[in-house]
Structure formats: structure tokens, C-alpha cells
Structure 1
């Protein structure tokens, strides 16, 4: 009977996810806020609480995080990351200062302590690569001059996750300074070793993994990813970082084949992850944190616009494209929820999960609007400012035969 109940609940969850995804696609919305709302509806305090399938959903959510980071790693080669790190690191520093610090300040103002401040800094710092890529495609901007600047910032954020997540994992585990330093050193050494091996021997690794039979390629890549993620988790480095590094190590045909085969699995388990986060958030806990979430959303939307504008200006791009670059970076999504989910699981601060949920719900909706309207609004305000400016005095015209 218990198995039947689990099947019924899982079937209801997955069917609802499919229907919500259709609704989002019909109206041009990201499905992430809809999945979060679905989780709120099925969770404790929701309209239809589910309990029998909770353990399976929790495991599926962890697999979803691993697959999200694996697929992210498959998007890049080690050479791409090294090149971006060398050329665009000033933009990464500005991005961190403008967008992580407001989150940390908000957590401290709310009295949540330094660990929660590190968590909320990550939530407000990292933009949603998935939402932004979709918006750029929908707006036909993939070939624009500002798009490489946007992608460079996203790449730097993704690379920074390989350093940030081990630090966060150590803090959430209550590790001391010595243990935390060792964890960070292990993470950095591992990331450096993987980048070196991927640069030198990436083709050999990909050739070893690659196979003409899709079934065997799927099993090898998925098995290798889960194995490395588990070892990384055991070393307190973070399973997500381990999966990301596996993705970086693969390239060429192996990466393309794995991307094609794993995309449906990624979509399924990532959706389960967002539902799981919603399941662990009581809807009644959101209204008390709605005002701080709204304030944080407004501030960090503006700071992301400033980040994109500054980075595009540094790249010598025209003013209109600078505003487009800034507006495109506003959306937060999957990685903000991943970071908040780690804190919720560790039980750091009860209000952190609801605030992160409200924050992501706001910015995943505002993000596409900002991408579309930031440049036209800035242009209109600029024209209005030019019109309001006092006219410069003109020299007196000389009448014929009269000299002034």
C-alpha cells in the first residue's frame, strides 16, 4: 500500500510539473517560479501536503543539483575558463562587490549572523544562466556585441562557485578555521588539477568516455559523475563542485553526446529539486519576509544593471548595448535556490528559505522584463534629461554693417 501511495504522489508531482512547464512555455515565462509555487502547494502548510514520497523527492533533488552543475560544466572547456579568468576578472570582482555585499548586509541587518550572511551573499550574487540564455535567445540577441560580455560574467560566476561552495559547505558543517582552510585548499587544488588535466589530456579523457552506443555513454558519464560527486561530498568539497569539474574535463563528441542524453534527466531532476525546495518552505512563512525580499530584489536588480553596464563600458561597447547588458543579468534562479537549499538542509536560519523563495520568485519574473525594457527606459530618461537641461546661451547675431 505504501508503494502505491508513493507512485500516486510521484505521478501527481511529475504530471503537475509537466502542466506547469506547458503554462510557462505558452506565456514565455521561466518554469522555475511555477515549480517553486508547485512545491509550496504540495508542501507542509500547502493546499495538498504530500509525505509518502518525501524521501524519494529529497534524493531526486540532490541528483538534480548534481546534474545542473554537470551540464553547466559541459558548456565550457578548460581553455574557455582560463581565458575568461585572465581577461575578465575585473568584471568578476565588480560583480561580487556590487551583488554579494547587499545580500550579506541584509542578513546582518536582520540579525541572522555571519554564516547566513555568506549564504545570502551567494543567493544575491549568482545570476541564472538558464533564464538569461533563454531570454537572450527569445529576444534575438545572441549575436549582439554585448552578449560575449554577459556570457563572460556568467562564466566567472560559475567558476567562482567552485570556490564558494566548498567554503559554504564547511561553514554550514560548523567546521573551524583550520578545517575550513583545509577544505578550501583541497577544493582549490582539486579544481586546479582538473583544469590542468583537462587542458593537457582532455581529448584522451573524452575519447575514453565516448562511445557510439548512447546507452553505454549515458551509463559511463552518469556513473562517473555520481561517483566523483559522492567522493567530493565525502571530502566536504561539495558534490556540486565535483559534478562541475567532471563536466569541464569532458569535451568534443563526448561532451556533446552527454549533453544531448542527459538534458531530459537534468530537466526532470532539476524540476524535482525546485519542488523539493518549495516542499520545505511553509507558505505562511513568506509574508513576514516579503518586504525584505522585495527591497533586496530592487537593490540587486539595480546593482546587476550597474555591473553589466560597467563591464560593457570596459569592453568599449556603445551606451545602448551597455544598458542591454545590465538588464540581461538581473534574473536569479537555479543557483540561488541551490545555495539557499544547502542552508535550509543545515537548519541555519528558519526565515532564510522563505526569503530566498520570495526573492527568486520576484527576480525570475522581473529578470526577463528588465532584459527587454532597461535600454528603452534608460534611453527615454536620458532624452528627458537632455530636454530638461537649460539651453546654452547663443552668441548675438550680427546685423549687416554693425559690429559687436
Structure 2
């Protein structure tokens, strides 16, 4: 009875604090994610008020939060959108892997941690946080922007790549042979392909199965189906986030609209718990010794992510403003990076790798919402200074530039991106 009361007090304090922080962020017109993370640090190990009884529940809620974030993103797009975007954006996925995995691998080798640690840290720096970025897109009202399909294509390519990467890194850490690693990889790829095939080919049938005029029944069926697919995918070494995203893709029409309306409050609640959970597992005492290399790595890979997003969006025909927004939005790292580092720490690769990855992700998960909002205006201010038209320029040139700028803004901010 006593432990139950403590659980209610702790969990109630967390929810109340999140609500107040969200209100403050709303007043400041700022994403609440950094404030949620700081709240997690305050309640975590070495914080002002460490939790005990409710930590396990928060961990489960955090996992559900990531799943719901990706489900809601999937609801914005059809299966045909997904397939066409993946076909056109796979070169961007290759550029993303090269530009963002290389800095992590190079740092690990320079620090003398060996090739296995280099592969691990390459994964940490490569993959953006789908959970953080989904929340940022929603907070900034950019789900319908023209650059958003490019962002989502890169995120999905990264998540699908994890279906290949995670079995490989697990085999490397365990010292498994080529045969065992190949079997694990084949299973992961088969499951990912099967889920994608079901979403693309049988989406209408899935929507009919889920459809219901009763909101209660619709909510239960969609939520249960999503958690079931996500759990099976994760059990078979495929990202739970990928499974949830593809469930959202499979739902269409009125079912998608009704589901979006019903699940929005649940998504916001559990997504906030995800960011708190991340802070809970960050011990501030472990960060100072690795802060400088983590900060240097964060700066380099923030720039490489911005370059990746800008190049991919320009290649897709998005104007410079939207391309800068795409690059800034991709900066945040999060759940996958922590999972990868956790596997390495458990295997005993290097004791410094875990704190370094934690500090690195914490820096970028706070910096990510800032770059998402401010990369485009900063870049525009910088480029406008460099390309300023002389006073003696003709009036017709000024008029043409103004017209092009207005056209870019309208195309970026008003064009629909999904359903």
C-alpha cells in the first residue's frame, strides 16, 4: 500500500511538472522538448529528487511514446507516397550514412577504442531521432510543408537501415560467427520487407478491418494493432518504430482521420514521458570527463546533418528556405543512438563509450529543436548578406528577386505533404 502511494505521488509530480513546463514553453512559443529533458535530469540519478517506484512505468510509457509518435506520422502519408519517396530519396540515404557515420567512426579510432567501437559510434552519430523530430514537426506546425516528405524519407531509410545494422552490431559485440550473423540479418530483412509489403498491398483491407463508428472500439483496435506489430517487429530485430510507422501508412481515409483525432492526446502524454525517461537515465557526474569530445562530435555531425537535409531537399525540388529547414530538423539524435551505445556498454566494449554517447545525444536532443527553428532564418540572413544587390542595381532585378522569394515562401509553407 505504501509503495502504491509513493508511485502515485511520484508519477503525479512528473505529469504535473510536464504540464507546467509545456505551458511555459507555449507562452515562449518554443518546443517543450529541452524542458522535458531537464525535468528528467532533475528526477534522475544524481538529480534533485531521484525517483524509485515509478521509474519502470515511465520506461514503458517512454517506449509507447516513440511508437505513437511514429504511428501518427505514418497516418499523414499513403503507401504510394512512401514507396515513391523511398525510390527517389535512396541516394539521400547513402549520403546521410557517409556524412554522418564517418565522424563517429573516426573519433573512436583516434581515441584508440578499436574497430568494433568505431562501428558502434558510427551508428550513434548516423541515425537521427525519429521521436524527437516527429515531436518538433508537430510543435512547429510543419507536417504539411513541402520539405517534410524528404525528412520522413530519410528517417524511414535510417530506421530500415537499422534492421540491417542492429543484427550486424549485435553479432560483432557477441563475437558471433558469420553464419549466425547472416541468419539474424536475413530474419530482420525478411520481417521488414513483409511488413512493408502488407502495408502497401493490403492497406485497404487493414483499414476495413480496423474501421468502426464507435470511437472506443476504433481506439482499442488501432492501439492494440500498433503495439502488437511494433512488439513483434522488435522481437524479430526490426525497429518497433518502423513497425508503428508502417501501421500508420496502412490506414487510410476516414479511419486515418478518426485515429489521428483520438490518439493525439495519448501521443502528447507518452511522448513527453519518452523525453523525461531519457533524462532519468543520464547521470550528470559521468558527463564532464567526455564533454569536450562529445561537444566537438555534436558540432561536426550537426553540420553534416544540415548539409544532408539541405542537399536531399534541393534534389527533390524544394526551395532553399525549405531545404534549410529540412537540414535543421534532422539534427536531433535520440532513441536509436542510446540503444546502440547501450548494447556496446553491456558487451563491455569501452567504459567511456556510454557516457560519451549520452553526452552527445543530450547535446543534440537539446540543440535539435533549436536548429529546426532557427537554421533557416540564420542561413537566409547569412546568404542575403553575401548576395546583397548593389544600390545601383536596376529596379527590375529587385522586383524579380522579391517575386521569386514570395513564390518560394508560398511553395514551402502552403503545399500539402501527405494525405
TM-score when normalising by structure 2: 0.80
Q: Which residue of 1 aligns with 2:91?
A: 90
What displacement does 1:166 show? Answer: 5.5
5+ unaligned residues in a row in structure 1: which ranges?
388-404
Counterpart CA distance in 2 for 1:107 and 1:80 is 38
2:366 counterpart of 1:366:
no
Q: Which residue of 2 aligns with 1:48?
A: 49
Q: Which residue of 1 aligns with 2:197?
A: 196
Q: Which residue of 2 aligns with 1:226?
A: 227
Distance of aligned partners of 1:118 and 1:98 in 2 relative to their CA distance in 1, 3 Å threshold: closer
Q: Which residue of 2 aligns with 1:71?
A: 72
**What is the CA deviation profile of residues 69-113 of structure 1, one whole-angstrom value per residue up to 9, with x for unaligned ones?**
322322322211110122232233223322332233334444451
Q: Which residue of 2 aligns with 1:400?
A: none
2:96 counterpart of 1:114:
no
Instruction: Report SS of the residue matched to 2:328.
Output: coil
Counterpart CA distance in 1 for 2:373 and 2:225 is 36
- Cα contact 1:206–1:254 (8 A) shared by 2: yes
2:58 counterpart of 1:57:
yes
- Cα contact 2:206–2:250 (8 A) shared by 1: yes
Counterpart CA distance in 1 for 2:304 and 2:331 is 17
Instruction: Report SS of the residue matched to 2:47.
Output: coil
**What is the CA deviation profile of residues 34-62 of structure 1, one whole-angstrom value per residue up to 9, with x for unaligned ones?**
11111000001011111121121122222
Map 1:2-401 onto structure 2 (within 5 A).
2-112=3-113, 113-123=117-127, 128-132=133-137, 134-135=139-140, 137=142, 147-165=145-163, 167-168=165-166, 171-172=169-170, 174=173, 176=176, 177-315=178-316, 321-322=319-320, 324-332=322-330, 336-343=333-340, 345-346=342-343, 348=345, 349-351=353-355, 352-383=357-388
- Cα contact 1:10–1:53 (8 A) shared by 2: yes
Deviates further, 164-173 or 22-31: 164-173
Deviates further, 264-273 or 66-75: 66-75
Distance of aligned partners of 1:150 and 1:235 in 2 relative to their CA distance in 1, 3 Å threshold: closer
- Cα contact 1:308–1:323 (8 A) shared by 2: no
Instruction: Report SS of the residue matched to 1:91.
Output: helix
Deviates further, 233-242 or 9-18: 233-242
Instruction: Report SS of the residue matched to 2:354.
Output: coil
What displacement does 1:167 show? Answer: 2.7
TM-score when normalising by structure 1: 0.82
What displacement does 1:271 show? Answer: 1.1
- Cα contact 2:93–2:157 (8 A) shared by 1: no
Query: What is the aligned length?
Result: 375
Counterpart CA distance in 2 for 1:23 and 1:136 is 18
Q: Which residue of 1 aligns with 2:401?
A: none
What displacement does 1:169 show? Answer: 5.7
- Cα contact 2:69–2:267 (8 A) shared by 1: yes
Distance of aligned partners of 1:218 and 1:109 in 2 relative to their CA distance in 1, 3 Å threshold: farther
Counterpart CA distance in 2 for 1:365 and 1:71 is 23
What displacement does 1:168 show? Answer: 2.1
* CA RMSD after TM alignment: 2.9
Deviates further, 117-126 or 51-60: 117-126
Counterpart CA distance in 1 for 2:240 and 2:304 is 30
Deviates further, 194-203 or 31-40: 194-203
